[in-house]
Structure 1
């Protein structure tokens, strides 16, 4: 640990967790010590991020039908 309380995470651990420079992590206390887990974004942080991909608004019924059809196609009846 550095004098600024910073730690270095080995490359193998960063790769296994899918971490990149600037990512945040959490230390979770468990019965065996601590677990290091990537901090996930809140769904609210994604608001508007993919708006440019929406070419035509869809109703909830249309969305439900599309999901149902995709699930049937992928996993069967």
Structure 2
């Protein structure tokens, strides 16, 4: 367990090893969740976006030899959910 001092302004500075444990980099945000019993859960804020934003981020970066059929897409999705996904072309 790690103890940190609280400043007169009510601020706490997290040590670098704690930030690394959370996967936090400078400028990123942290979520605090109030739990019963005066406890807090601290975790890295993970950005959520839209499918359009995701597709736009991939635009021009994914090169396919040929378009996939619906059946091929379904097979890839099933393999991914089963943890058996390899590189598919």
Q: CA deviation at 1:31?
A: 2.0
Could you list the runs of 5+ residues in structure 2 that have no partner in the other structure? 1-6
TM-score, normalised to structure 1, is: 0.65
1:44 is the counterpart of 2:54: no
Please give the root-mean-square deviation of Cα atoms over the aligned residues, in Å.
Answer: 3.3
Structure number with the higher helix fraction is 1
User: How many aligned residue pairs are there?
Assistant: 74
TM-score normalized by structure 2? 0.58
Which consecutive segments of 4 or more residues in structure 1 shift more than 4 A? 69-73
Q: 2:17 aligns with which of 12, 31, 34?
A: 12
Q: Distance in 1 between matches of 2:28 and 2:68?
A: 34
Unaligned runs of 5+ in 1: none
